[in-house]
Chains A and B, each alone.
Chain A
Amino acid sequence: MESNAMEIGRKRMAFTLNGRAVEADVPSYWNLVDLLRDFDLFGARESCGIGACGCCTVLVDGTAMSGCLTLAQTVEGKAVTTVEDQDRDGTLSVVQQAFVDEAAFQCGFCTPGFVMMVGELLKENPEPSDDEVRSYLSGNLCRCATYPEILKAVRVAASRLRG
């Protein structure tokens, strides 16, 4: 790579990505979304760039984070989980299947962020009320406003996960 004015602080680091041990050469100014793109993972997307829309939601050591506000070098030694982990075995997760069945997306750009947060919600609260769903997902925005269908998808996923 050609040299540039912002080379200071590049670092070779190891972390866990969707259950796999990986290494990367990380500039100091990259955020986590940049790092994931370097691994050809595009499910976490930078949209608003200020952590207000939820499109870049990923898990870092099991906690949902805004990828656009997380400096990449801070995940050294940590476990990063992205939406691409959900169908690792080739089948859609329960939450993803519920989104398909309830037509809970339109343009699809925000969908991975919602899928991640719904997964977290149902881990914490297997039987959420509609108000609890609205509150938990209030940090994710959908400009197509597919909210009614997302709410239905959460109910369907919750019921399927409870068996």
Chain B
Amino acid sequence: MPNGQVGRSVPRHESAEKVTGRAEYVHNLSVAGMLHLKVFRSTVAHGRILSIDTSEAEAMPGVHAVLTGEDIRKLVAEPYYGPAFHDQPVLALDKVRYVGEPVAVVAARDPYVAAAAAELIFAEYEELPAVDDEIEAMTSDAVVHDELRPAGTFPDLKHLDGKRDTNVALDYHLKRGDPEAAFAAADHVFEHEFRTQPVMHVPLEPMVSLAVPEQGGLTIHTASQSPSFVRSEVARLLGWAENRVRVKVPYLGGGFGAKLYIKLEALVACVALILRKPVKLSLTMEEQFYTITKHASTFRIKTGVNKDGRITARHCAVYWNGGAYADIGPRVTQKSGFTAPGPYNIENVEIESYALYTNRPPAGAFRGFGIPQLVWAYESQIDVIADELGLDRVAIRRLNLLDETDPQATGTPMKDAPVKAVLERVAALMDWDGPFDTGQGSIRRGRGVAVGFKASISPTTSVANVTVAADGSCSLAMSTVDMGQGSATAHSQIVAEVLGIRAEDVRVVNPDTDVTPYDMATLGSRSTYHMGHAVRLAAEDARAKLDALAGEVGRDGWDGNSIASLFLARYGMQAGTITGSGTYMPSYAKPDPATGFSDNITPFWMVGGTGIEVEVDTETGKARITKLISVGDLGKPLNPRIVETQLSGGALMQVGLTMLEDMALDGGQVTNASFSDYKIPGFADIPVEIVNDILPTEQRDGPFGAKGVGETATFGVAPALASAIHQAVGVRVTSLPITPEKLFRLMQERTA
């Protein structure tokens, strides 16, 4: 019987702590005897380490120790980590592979002393040829890693083990139908190249980790989206049982994919063990740019179309600039590769997707896991095709979009993926068929739409425990990290719904791997669905145990108010505990290595649509979004208000990535690694009118009909804006970001 806990806009549990500045972050944490670390970083993009002179730094009063990769190697013989490849050294060994790579580390009581001492370290390198561009990396003689070292965790990477003289860390291929014949038969063939730039997540709480050696093990307090992975990976490095590593994560000051897998944790763990002291490493904003980025990409897209606008063939070649260490790039390459042809029903498809090593800072997950890069290309190209064929931009999509009964390119059906309904909703909210004022004089107006979709990350597992105390109060223990998306509140609503209590009364335990069970990670909009099911199962298990307890004490039933009386009747006093446990792993069929096909690559699809109206000043090239519409297919929202914040938050972040942000690289050096030169959106940059729309749908196999929404509104922003700009001023942008300077130049070229 529904009791109204799910689907209600419960205020976030941590509201008061967050508005008073008292919320717990690792940023705030100190422990007795703690040393602060400062990293000394590589100044060359690719080079052999000849020498590292730490003597002056060590001699500085107040410095406790200076360590290099060789010191780490004495503790861990093979100190290489990573989720897909064991390629990243805790500190550089033998070689450096990008500017900013950690080479040595200073430990001191005073963080300012550590920083000053790090300036006194000198390293000599024999510089090697470097590779920067992802296309160049396909054939470059400069090879970033002598040999590929895939992690054992992914069976489909095994064939890469020991491969030499290549920068290709993973290639994914799919072929459906007969693309060659279809291109030959098509009325029109369009070929384009679309590019995206490197950007950084810049969570406002910069990455931070603190390791404390204790009780024959280690406690790591870390701003991480993946406590369970940190635990198992640090244990693997040290050759320890997992239970000797305790990972604790309070609230995160933003994540967006930056704080996934291992970032600083391996380094603080090793240094804490070597020095037998608690050590804390707090990155500066600048250092975040040297730690993880979003993949720059090149997408060569070739499409065959009949004269009526029906797409008959598509060839997608996508090149992902993964930087010097693979991080999760190979997963991005494959998982996003699945959807490279877009949400269109195309009979003949070929996909090639390549993860490439280059001598840049590593690239990893970033809100959308590769999808925004793909949508940028396929939604931009369909607008070009529409214009060339004289078709309406919504009509050409309507003609080609997949139905929910259709299989997507991989063969997996588009179950509960209402791409057409999302498009129609965007069009309706924009009054697409109504009149539109395209402006006059130097202010020109345009509008655009785009629809994108994403597969969830599969197969992954979540586990949750629900505890009922003898006074009837409930706690939820899970390793989902609340980094602002409101997961603690949303999941408490599931517990409350199942047990017939108020969500406000459910206490959520922040991740602590000694207490909270396994979860793959907080990423890819997976928590609502995966952890949501685990939490539901845990609460149902607790409910069944409460039913049994009621039976034992001779009651017909119980409700939220009578739980305490069951314990009292059974134990004669306020005593006892009931623990319900739930584990969820959806089914998955991995793609056939030969064809790339699978009828079950994802447990669910997420669809997002964007509508944008823009004004362009033809005298300055300045574009201003006047209306931003985000339509999300997210099933039934667990907490509508949090979901809305996720929609506009995702869309506005993507506005920044589309119009403002661009990591400038010069010889591998990031030259704008600060907020003075790398601008993110502020109040002045956001559209005046922002519309969030939750499509009334249901994910039928989701927990209470729900699925994730953290990335949905990011998908369509860039192509919808480019489309609107094209209508306004007639120029087509094919590389991000869309800056006033770029627009101005394109307009100049057009008139010249």
Interface residues of A (CB under 8 A from B): 1-6, 27, 29, 37, 41-45, 47-50, 52-53, 55, 82-84, 86-87, 92, 96, 99-101, 103, 105-112, 115, 133-135, 137-149
The residues in B between 39 and 77 inclusive whose CB is less than 8 angstroms from any CB of A are 60-62
Task: Tell me which residues across on chain A come within 8 A of B252, comparing CB atoms.
Answer: 107
- In the bound assembly, the distance between CA atoms of A147 and B651 in angstroms comes to 12
Q: Kindly list chain B residues whose C-beta atoms are within 8 Å of the C-beta of A138.
A: 682-684
Most buried by A among B17, B253, B255: B253
Give Cα A86–Cα B19 distance, bound, in whole angstroms.
10
Answer yes or no: B153 CB below 8 A from chain A CBs: no
User: How would residues 269 to 282 of chain B score, 1 for a CB under 8 Å from any chain A CB and 0 otherwise?
Assistant: 00000000000000
Show 20 residue pairs from A and B whose CB-CB distance is below 8 angstroms, ordered by the A residue: A2-B109, A5-B113, A27-B112, A43-B20, A45-B205, A50-B676, A105-B15, A105-B18, A107-B255, A107-B484, A108-B14, A108-B18, A108-B23, A139-B682, A143-B201, A143-B204, A143-B254, A144-B649, A145-B656, A145-B681
Kindly list the 3 A-B residue pairs having the minimum CB-CB distance in the complex, ordered from nearest: A43-B21, A4-B62, A109-B253
- Give complex CA distance A47, B286 in Å: 10
Asked if B19 contacts A99 (CB within 8 A), the reply is yes
Query: What residues of B have a CB within 8 angstroms of the CB of A103 in the complex?
Result: 9, 11-12, 641-642, 645
A101, B19: Cα distance in complex, Å: 11
CA–CA, A66 and B18, complex, Å: 20
Q: Which of B16, B62, B206, B253 contacts A107 (CB 8 A)?
A: B253
Question: B217-253 toward A: CB 8 Å interface, digit per residue (1/0)?
Answer: 0000000000000000000000000000000000111
B204 touches A53 (CB 8 A): yes
Contact of B116 among A5, A37, A106, A142 (CB under 8 A): A5
CB distance from B67 to the nearest CB of A (A): 19
Interface contact A145-B653, CB-CB below 8 Å? yes
Q: A50-B674, A143-B202 are in contact. Are A86 and B20 (CB under 8 A)?
A: yes
Q: Are A3 and B205 in contact (CB under 8 A)?
A: no
Establish whether residues A83 and B686, one from each chain, have CB atoms under 8 Å apart when the complex forms. Answer: no
Bound complex: CA of A115 vs CA of B17, how far in Å? 13
Count of B interface residues, CB-CB < 8 Å: 65
B483 at the interface (CB under 8 A from A): yes
Q: Does B443 contact A (CB under 8 A)?
A: no
Give the distance in Å from the alpha carbon of A55 to the alpha carbon of B285 in the complex. 12
For the complex, give the distance between the alpha carbons of A82 and B251 in Å. Answer: 21
**Are A107 and B61 in touch, CB under 8 angstroms?**
no
**A139 to B685 alpha-carbon distance, docked (Å):** 12
Please judge, given known A-B contacts A107-B203, A107-B252, whether A43 and B62 are in contact too, CB under 8 Å. no
Q: A77: shortest Cβ distance to chain B, in Å?
A: 24
A4-B108, A48-B675 given as contacts; is B653 within 8 A of A96 (CB)? no
B17 neighbours in A (Cβ, 8 Å): 108
Question: Which residues on A sit within 8 Å (CB–CB) of B255?
Answer: 107
Known: A105-B484, A107-B254. 7 other contacts (CB 8 A): A2-B62, A49-B285, A106-B254, A106-B485, A111-B18, A135-B683, A140-B683
Structural contact, B684 and A134, CB atoms closer than 8 A: yes
Check if A83 sits within 8 Å of B62, measured CB to CB: no
CB distance from A76 to the nearest CB of B (A): 20
> In the complex, how many angstroms separate the beta carbon of A109 from the nearest chain B beta carbon?
3
| Interface set, chain B 306-344, CB cutoff 8 A to A | none
**B215 CB-CB contact with A under 8 Å:** no
Q: Does B652 contact A (CB under 8 A)?
A: yes
Q: Is the CB of B682 within 8 A of A141?
A: yes
With A and B bound together, what is the CA distance between A15 and B204 in angstroms?
A: 29
- List residues of chain B with CB under 8 Å of any chain A CB: 9, 11-12, 14-23, 25, 27-28, 60-62, 108-110, 112-113, 116-117, 201-206, 251-256, 284-286, 483-486, 641-642, 645, 648-653, 656, 674-676, 680-684, 686, 690
Q: Report how far A92 CA is from B18 CA in the complex, Å.
A: 11
Q: How far, in angstroms, from A133 to B284 measured CA to CA in the complex?
A: 29
- Expressed in whole angstroms, the minimum distance between the Cβ of A146 and any Cβ of chain B is 6
Name the one of B19, B286, B676 contacting A96, with C-beta atoms under 8 angstroms.
Answer: B19
Cβ distance A160 to chain B, nearest Cβ, rounded Å: 15
B contact residues around A112 at 8 Å (CB): 19-21
Given the complex of chains A and B, what is the CA–CA distance between A29 and B682 in angstroms? 30
Give the CA-CA distance A27 to B109 in the complex, in Å: 14
Partner of B110, one of A6, A87, A141, A142: A6
Cross-chain contact B20 with A48 (CB below 8 angstroms): no
Q: Which residue of B lies closest to A98 (CB)?
A: B19
Chain A nearest Cβ from B29, distance in angstroms: 9
- Considering only CB atoms, which chain A residue lies closest to B109 in the complex? A2
Question: Which residues of chain B are near A146, meaning CB under 8 Å?
Answer: 645, 649
Provide the bound-state CA to CA distance between A82 and B22, in Å.
12
Assess whether A106 is in contact with B682, with CB atoms less than 8 Å apart. no
Q: How far is the CB of B38 from chain A (nearest CB, A)?
A: 13
Min CB distance B384 to A, Å, is 30
Q: Counting chain B CB atoms within 10 Å of each CB, which of A6, A37, A44, A149 scores highest? A: A6
Nearest chain-B residue to A30 (Cβ)? B112
Instruction: Assess whether B19 is in contact with A92, with CB atoms less than 8 Å apart.
Output: yes
CB pair A106 B20 closer than 8 Å: no
A32 shortest CB reach to chain B, Å: 15
CA distance A112 to B22 in the complex (A): 9
Q: A141 near B204 (CB under 8 angstroms)?
A: yes
Q: In the complex, what residues of A have CB within 8 A of residue B15's CB? A: 100, 105
Q: Are A134 and B60 in contact (CB under 8 A)?
A: no
- Complex Cα gap A53–B642 (Å): 24
- Please, how many angstroms separate the alpha-carbon atoms of A1 and B113 in the complex? 13
In the complex, what distance in Å separates the CA atom of A90 from the CA atom of B392? Answer: 59
- Chain A min CB distance to B119 (Å): 12
Please, how many angstroms separate the alpha-carbon atoms of A29 and B117 in the complex?
A: 15
B641 to chain A, nearest CB (A): 5
Residues of A within 8 A of B686 (CB): 145, 147-148
Return the chain A residue nearest B286 by Cβ.
Answer: A49
Partner of A106, one of B202, B284, B645, B651: B645
**CB distance B675 to A115 under 8 Å?**
no
Minimum Cβ distance to chain B for residue A33 (Å): 11
Nearest B-chain residue to A82, judged by Cβ: B21
Q: Among A37, A43, A101, A140, which residue has its beta carbon within 8 angstroms of that of B22?
A: A43
In the bound assembly, the distance between CA atoms of A106 and B650 in angstroms comes to 12
Report if A4-B683 is in contact (Cβ < 8 Å); known contacts: A48-B675, A105-B18.
no
Taking CB atoms, residues of chain A closer than 8 Å to B14 are 108
A107 to chain B, nearest CB (A): 3
